[in-house]
Amino acid sequence: MKKMFMTTVALVALGSTVALADSMNLGWACRTSANNGNASTNNVDPTAGGTVDCNDPGQFTGTRRIIASFKNTSTLLAWGGTTVRITVLVYQTPIPDYWNVSAAGCRAGSLTAPSTLVGAASCTNPYTIAPVDPQGQTNQESVAVDAANGRIRYEADHFRNTTQVDIPPPVSAGGYIANNIGFTVDAVGPDLNSCAGCDVPACIILDQVDYFSLTEKRSITTPELRGFITWVDPYCRIPDPTRGATWGAVKALYR
């Protein structure tokens, strides 16, 4: 059933994209109008303003959540899942070890989404809407690191395996969770200081959110409040146009 569902979605994606006045947001917390200006929602600075050694394992362990959310303006019947596309621009080339989250990188597996989405305050988790899917959920993701150009591309399909539900326009302040990506902020690898570069600034951009049923897919590329977050530097530096599609995505953030 799982393979059938994803095959159907792939066919729908070829010929049934619907353009609506929907919107999306990205934050280190579920972004709302109330916390949109909060520093902790927009930027993470593990250097504590330069006063903390970025490779001190006692300063930052655990996982931060990168929360991609969306707001639909009309009900989607039999909704079954989402696709999220994110670009990370790292302002050092070649990419430092800390940001090399590829399968062969120093911090392999540090950027990933859980199989079951966890909640986020002020956002509605559509994957827990009743009836709960007895077959659970599936997350299929890919992480591609362009080390020479300091760029990371993250894409994930997250879907209910067999049971779909209707999702009306959200009533929660933050809308619906599209994906809740875990970013492990531990700066060290197998040996102390082995993954240097956590103090290198980065801009994390939400390029697109798709949400879909078996018969329809809706794509969102327009942020409602903000479609990017930052690491160390509170400003998202506009990259050189040679970095491709990200140029247009970043320019759109400042419209």
Q: How far apart are CA 67 and CA 236, in angstroms?
A: 17
Tell me the average pLDDT across 13-19. 44
List Cα–Cα distances, 236 to 15, 39, 161, 206, in angstroms: 34, 14, 37, 12
Average pLDDT of span 241-250 = 42
pLDDT at 5 over 70: no
Measure the CA–CA gap between 228 and 206, rounded to whole angstroms.
6
**How far apart, in whole angstroms, are the C-alpha atoms of residue 87 and residue 146?**
11
Please give the pLDDT value at position 238: 57
pLDDT over 70 (residue 8): no
Q: Name the H helices within 25-161.
A: 39-42
Average pLDDT, the chain: 82
- Mean pLDDT is lowest, of 43-52, 67-76, 170-179, 212-221, for 43-52
Evaluate whether 221 touches 248 at the Cβ level (below 8 Å).
no
pLDDT tens digits for 150-177? 999 999 999 999 999 999 999 999 999 9
> Quick one: pLDDT at residue 142?
94
State mean pLDDT over 198-226.
95
What residue ranges do the domains of the chain occupy?
A: 2-253
Q: What letter does residue 124 receive in the DSSP assignment? A: B
135/127 Cα distance (integer angstroms): 12
Please write the tens of the pLDDT for every residue from 214-235: 999 999 999 999 999 999 888 8
Is the pLDDT at 208 greater than 80, yes or no? Answer: yes
pLDDT grade for 147, boundaries at 50, 70 and 90: very high
Say yes or no to pLDDT of 2 above 60: no
Alpha helices, DSSP H, located in the chain: 2-15, 39-42, 246-253
- Give pLDDT, residue 248: 44
Contact 122, 194 (CB under 8 A): no
Nearest by Cα to 139 from 88, 178, 176: 178
- Scan for tokens 């559509």, then name that residue: 126
Tell me which of 231 and 247 has the higher pLDDT: 231
Per-residue pLDDT tens over the stretch 85-143? 999 999 999 999 999 999 889 888 888 887 777 888 999 999 999 998 999 999 999 99
3-class DSSP state of 5 = helix
pLDDT band at 53 (very low <50, low <70, confident <90, very high): low
Q: 187: pLDDT confidence band, cut at 50, 70 and 90?
A: low
**Angstrom distance (rounded) from CA 104 to CA 111:** 13
Q: pLDDT over 70 for what percent of the chain?
A: 76
Q: Per-residue confidence at 44, pLDDT binned at 50, 70, 90?
A: confident
Residue 61 has pLDDT above 80, yes or no: no
* 150 φ/ψ angles, rounded to the nearest 5 degrees: 65, 40
Segment (H or E) for 123 = none
pLDDT value, residue 57: 58
The answer to whether 177 touches 68, Cβ cutoff 8 Å, is: yes
